[in-house]
Amino acid sequence: MAKAGRCAICGRPGTVRVPHANAWFCDEHFPTWLERRIRRVAERYGMFEGSRRVAVAVSGGKDSVTLLHALKAIGDEVGFEVVSLHLDLGIGEFSRASAEVARRNAEMLGVESVVVDLKSKYGFTVPEAVRSTRRPACSTCGLVKRYALGEAAEDVGADTLATGHNLDDMAQFIAMGYQSGDVEELARLRPVVPAEHYAVKSVKPLFLVYERETAEYARVKGLPTVSLKCPLKDATSGWIVREKMKEVEEAMPGFMMRFVQEFAEKIQPALAERYLREGEVGRCRICGRPTSKGREICSFCAVRMRATGMATA
Ligand code: SF4
Ligand code: ZN
Ligand code: ZN
């Protein structure tokens, strides 16, 4: 560990080191600096242009909790309100603890807090969905969350849905997309997704924020976060790639940032032009939302049918 430097804002002894910016910050100024950076990134990519009501997906983890607090501060400055959206996935004690953390953070900020219970709304929990399919748990959970959050954001009258995907998540998705050659998946991986599937646009304001930065933000501000690990989390090859990329980052500070930013600004747009054919999508005959590759039933409805016993895997 390098000898602590001085805070780049006030000159007092630094407590948080930010290698990619070659800077140190004190506990007081690290959150200020991070919020400013999130705001700059959001402005550069037009994330909140025209936004008046932003639903923030709060799982209770450090990324989503950081996102809620940072967007509340930014929203107060630029003029949008935030609503905390929490999905109860029905994963036993883990879900109970997560809901409590989401509620406490919303209460700290005095923001509206909405909890959507998957079982009541759609008739199944994530463990039931996972048991009904051979897909990896997090992949099934991810698709269920995307759908349920999109609908919940519409239901609360939001125009924008913000999710807490960080830079490490994005680097992992990109690397795994290259490995599998799934060009359509890569073409859809964007920091701003226009309102197509849902009536809200979807944004990832932390996509250039390192995971360790959200951890520091939550620590420095003393924010409640979920300490329990999700019991369904699968050890996929994606996690190995993620850890190895962090080693490269250690040796070359800023590597992951350039990897993700160059992808977002040059590679994804080129892939989208070549592989995203929005006009060709069909409509799900159950829920009416867009389906990929002309399928009759969307992936969410397929999972729901299996999880509720309306279809076999
Ligand atoms: Fe869902 Fe996986 Fe996260 Fe658990 S670890 S909540 S299964 S995405
Ligand atoms: Zn300072
Ligand atoms: Zn459907």
Per-residue confidence (pLDDT) for residue 143, from 0 to 100 = 94
Q: Which residue among 229, 230, 239 is best mutated to probe the pocket of ligand 1, counting the most ligand atoms within 8 A of its Cβ?
A: 230
Task: Give distance in angstroms: CA of 12 to centre of ligand 2.
Answer: 6
- Is there a contact between 216 and 223 (Cβ–Cβ < 8 Å)? no
> What are residue 162's DSSP bridge partners?
56, 203
Per-residue confidence (pLDDT) for residue 1, from 0 to 100 = 55
Indicate if ligand 1 lies below 6 Å from the C-beta of 228.
no
Indicate if ligand 1 lies below 6 Å from the C-beta of 232.
yes
Task: Give distance in angstroms: CA of 29 to centre of ligand 2.
Answer: 5
Per-residue confidence (pLDDT) for residue 236, from 0 to 100 = 76
Indicate if ligand 1 lies below 6 Å from the C-beta of 87.
no
Given a cut of 70, whether residue 280 has pLDDT beyond it is no
Per-residue confidence (pLDDT) for residue 59, from 0 to 100 = 97
- Is there a contact between 168 and 256 (Cβ–Cβ < 8 Å)? yes
Residue 160: both structure tokens together: 């924008």
Given a cut of 90, whether residue 277 has pLDDT beyond it is no
Task: Give distance in angstroms: CA of 50 to centre of ligand 2.
Answer: 33
Mean pLDDT confidence for 48-73:
98
Q: What are phi and psi of 305, to 5 degrees?
A: -65, -40
Long-range contacts of residues 26-35, Cβ cutoff 8 Å, at least 24 apart: 27/220, 30/216, 30/217, 30/220, 31/70, 31/217, 31/220, 31/221, 33/8, 33/9, 34/66, 34/70, 34/209, 34/213, 34/217, 35/70, 35/73, 35/74
pTM for the predicted model, two decimal places = 0.95
Given a cut of 90, whether residue 291 has pLDDT beyond it is no
Task: Identify the residue whose tokens are 């290698």.
Answer: 19
Given a cut of 60, whether residue 126 has pLDDT beyond it is yes
- Is there a contact between 106 and 144 (Cβ–Cβ < 8 Å)? no
Confidence at 198, pLDDT banded by 50, 70, 90: confident
The rounded Cα 156 to chain-centroid distance in angstroms is 19
Report how far residue 296's alpha carbon sits from residue 13's, in angstroms, rounded to the nearest whole number: 60
Return the residue whose CA atom lies nearest to atom 6 of ligand 1: 230
> What are residue 160's DSSP bridge partners?
54, 201
Mean pLDDT confidence for 219-245:
92
Q: What's the N-to-C CA distance of the chain in angstroms? A: 51
Indicate if ligand 1 lies below 6 Å from the C-beta of 138.
yes
Q: Name the percent of the chain lying above pLDDT 90.
A: 87
Ligand nearest to the backbone CA of 148: 3
Given a cut of 90, whether residue 281 has pLDDT beyond it is no
Q: Which residue among 147, 232, 236, 239 is best mutated to probe the pocket of ligand 1, counting the most ligand atoms within 8 A of its Cβ?
A: 232
Spell 37-72 as b/e; 16+ CB within 10 A means b: bbbebbeebebbeebebbbbbbbbbbbbbbbbbbbb
Residue 138: both structure tokens together: 């997090």
Task: Give distance in angstroms: CA of 266 to centre of ligand 2.
Answer: 35
Report how far residue 171's alpha carbon sits from residue 154's, in angstroms, rounded to the nearest whole number: 29
Residues 6+ apart with CB under 8 A from 189: 170, 173, 174, 177, 263, 268
Per-residue confidence (pLDDT) for residue 2, from 0 to 100 = 58
